[in-house]
Amino acid sequence: MKGRKEKRSSKAVDGRRPMDASDGCKIALERKRVFWKSSARGNLETRLCVGAVMSSCLRRALFLRLRLRLRRGLSSAAAAEAKAPVELPPPRPSAGRRVVVTGLGAVTPLGRGVGPTWDRLVAGGCAVRALSAEDLRLPGDVAGKTLEQLPSRVAAAVPRGNGEDEFDDAAWTKDNKSVSGFIAYALCAADEALKDANWLPSEDHKKERTGVSIGGGIGSISDILDASQMIFENRLRRLSPYFIPKILINMASGHVSMRYGFQGPNHAAVTACATGAHSIGDATRMIQFGDADVMIAGGTESSIDALSIAGFSRLRALSTKYNSHPQAASRPFDCGRDGFVIGEGCGVMVLEALDHAKERGAKIYAEVRGYGMSGDAHHITQPQNDGRGATLAMKHALEQSGLQADQIDYLNAHATSTPLGDAVEINAIKSVFGDHALSGGLAFSSTKGAIGHLLGASGSVEAIFAVLAIHHGVAPPTLNLEQPDPLFGGAFMPLSAPKKMPIRAAISNSFGFGGTNAALLFSCPP
């Protein structure tokens, strides 16, 4: 700007600004006026000649002024045209793609693998056992003393070993120091699900259209406890450089995506006990909105350690009455329930756009028809007594699916075996399903009697159970239902034994601390 000002001033004469066409016009008019006045007595011929010359100057000045105005007008029009907003194209329609389940993988207290887990569940197997000092992951003497102080001494742990349906830690952690327990479960379950779906692409464009959505509830508390102990013992320099990557919940998704080279969405929900359901629901929407063609989705948790159990015990959330009879401790909907049994594991689904699945000839277990969410906005750990949050989540799932309440044949309840939580869900089921539930048309159960509460993994594992119920035509049972809650009556009663039946559609409920609720609705393959 400074250079431009100096350039302009250099053309000025005697400090005045340079002339333009307007100035020329004014000067010509003034000279003509002066000439006629001063030469009033002059020669007529001379006056006419000079007048003609001056008229020519005037015409020239007027022409220059007109041309300048024209140029300014064209320049303004061009600038206005350049500033005019370009009309945007309309947005792509949402929820335009149908989503199906093409692969399943699980690591649960009933065993490693979907097959062993489902077979034992339907057969009435129970994975709850007495807690041992080794489960607490503490030094020998400390572990024994800590175990004695815990009010709840039962748990549903993943069976470990080298057996066919046991989980081998070394197989997933020995080559990577940044893999903690919950990440290892996710890697194992994702591997099974991908092989089940026959989806292990090598082409870059397919990897770019495949994403991961695996979340967790509380991550690796045991690693945090170990690191804290190092600080107390002045051993800070021995802290592993992999400590932070081991405890970040999104690293489950990260490790799965890195292992297989998936470059689509890399997502991790953290919504307490609704995490698994939210992860599946969010992944479904990513496919519907065109962000991916395939998503690996689920929840994972490794929470059997001293600090987690002590923390939930202080909340009075865990069962304490059945320490001497562990397999009776998790009793959803039963009058004798006194809290949940802590569990661990992982459930993973391969979700896929219907057109993509059909194009490659994939087997289809079920279709994801609805995903409902809500918030209680009530209390940090307790639901509203009227069950409004759970009711809204189920209603939203139904609305999105386009199905009516009486078209749902099975419901996998969240029921964790807590006195308040189970009662609230019973009322919510009544509110949503009405006569369909009261007349016995709706089969429902809680599978936590068999596997305990897997926290962030519960929603995805139980969603797998809902899908398998549709696939096999069998509704799984509720264990330890000896004296049903008085809120039940007549035909409105949870299943206490497996029931063979055609299942057109099923809902899986998941509710978490903080008042977060999710309901997933699945239906028969299209």
Q: Domain containing 147 — which CATH number?
A: 3.40.47.10
User: What does the alpha-carbon distance between residue 383 and residue 317 come to, in Å, rounded to a whole number?
Assistant: 13
Same domain, 54 and 181: no
Q: What are the backbone dihedrals phi and psi of residue 367, each rounded to the nearest 5 degrees, phi first?
A: -110, 140
Identity at 218, one-letter amino acid code? I
Same domain, 214 and 350: yes
Same domain, 190 and 48: no
Q: Which residues are catalytic?
A: 273, 414, 453
Same domain, 386 and 261: yes
Query: Would you state the pLDDT for residue 78?
Result: 55
Do the domain assignments include residue 116?
yes
Query: Would you state the pLDDT for residue 328?
Result: 98
Same domain, 50 and 195: no
Same domain, 206 and 281: yes
Residue 24 has pLDDT above 90, yes or no: no
β partners of residue 520: 371, 508
Task: For residue 380, give both structure tokens.
Answer: 């940090």
Same domain, 106 and 52: no
Q: Which of 74-78, 221-225, 324-328 has the lowest mean pLDDT?
A: 74-78
pTM of the model: 0.83
Do the domain assignments include residue 270?
yes
User: What does the alpha-carbon distance between residue 389 and residue 428 come to, in Å, rounded to a whole number?
Assistant: 8
Which letter does DSSP use for residue 473 in this model? T
Which letter does DSSP use for residue 160 in this model? B
Contact 64, 19 (CB under 8 A): no
Percent of the chain past pLDDT 90, that is, above it, reads 78
Task: For residue 8, give both structure tokens.
Answer: 């302009």
CA-based nearest residue to 334, from 485, 498, 453, 128: 485
Range of the domain at 231: 99-523
Same domain, 54 and 117: no
User: What does the alpha-carbon distance between residue 385 and residue 235 come to, in Å, rounded to a whole number?
Assistant: 48
Q: Which residue has the higher pLDDT, 70 or 419?
A: 419
User: What does the alpha-carbon distance between residue 395 and residue 374 come to, in Å, rounded to a whole number?
Assistant: 10
Q: Could you give the number of structural domains in the chain?
A: 2
Q: 100: part of which helix (H) or strand (E)?
A: strand 99-108
Query: Would you state the pLDDT for residue 101?
Result: 99
Task: For residue 449, give both structure tokens.
Answer: 């009697």
Same domain, 193 and 254: yes
Residue 249 has pLDDT above 80, yes or no: yes
User: For the residues 492-499, what does the mean pLDDT come to?
Assistant: 98
Query: Would you state the pLDDT for residue 19?
Result: 54
Contact 385, 378 (CB under 8 A): no
Do the domain assignments include residue 296?
yes
User: What does the alpha-carbon distance between residue 259 and residue 468 come to, in Å, rounded to a whole number?
Assistant: 27
What SS3 string covers 359-396?
HCCCCCCEEEEEEEEEECCCCCCCCCCCCHHHHHHHHH
Task: For residue 124, give both structure tokens.
Answer: 């009435």
Task: For residue 473, give both structure tokens.
Answer: 């035509």
Task: For residue 31, give both structure tokens.
Answer: 């000279």
Do the domain assignments include residue 68?
no
User: For the residues 275-287, what does the mean pLDDT come to?
Assistant: 99
Could you report the per-residue pLDDT of 401-411, keeping only the tens digit for each? 999 999 999 99
Residue 147 has pLDDT above 90, yes or no: yes
Contact 270, 258 (CB under 8 A): no
Task: For residue 159, give both structure tokens.
Answer: 């069976």
Do the domain assignments include residue 74?
no
User: For the residues 219-248, what does the mean pLDDT come to?
Assistant: 92
Do the domain assignments include residue 422?
yes
Which letter does DSSP use for residue 42 in this model? S
Do the domain assignments include residue 241?
yes
Same domain, 50 and 161: no
Do the domain assignments include residue 87?
no
User: What does the alpha-carbon distance between residue 362 and residue 206 come to, in Å, rounded to a whole number?
Assistant: 15
User: What does the alpha-carbon distance between residue 438 and residue 436 come to, in Å, rounded to a whole number?
Assistant: 6
Q: Which of 46-60, 93-107, 257-271 has the lowest mean pLDDT?
A: 46-60
Indicate the SS3 state at residue 337: coil
Same domain, 27 and 145: no
Query: Would you state the pLDDT for residue 141?
Result: 84
Query: What Å distances lie between residue 266 and 94, 102, 283, CA to CA?
Result: 20, 19, 10
* Tokens 């903690």 belong to residue: 180
| Mean pLDDT, rounded, of the chain | 89
Task: For residue 249, give both structure tokens.
Answer: 């919940």
Query: Would you state the pLDDT for residue 69?
Result: 65
Position 83 confidence tier, pLDDT thresholds 50, 70, 90: low
The burial class, CB within 10 Å (0-12 / 13-18 / 19+), for 407 is middle
Query: Would you state the pLDDT for residue 71?
Result: 65
Contact 449, 332 (CB under 8 A): yes
End-to-end Cα distance, the chain: 69
User: For the residues 7-23, what does the mean pLDDT come to?
Assistant: 50
Same domain, 49 and 140: no
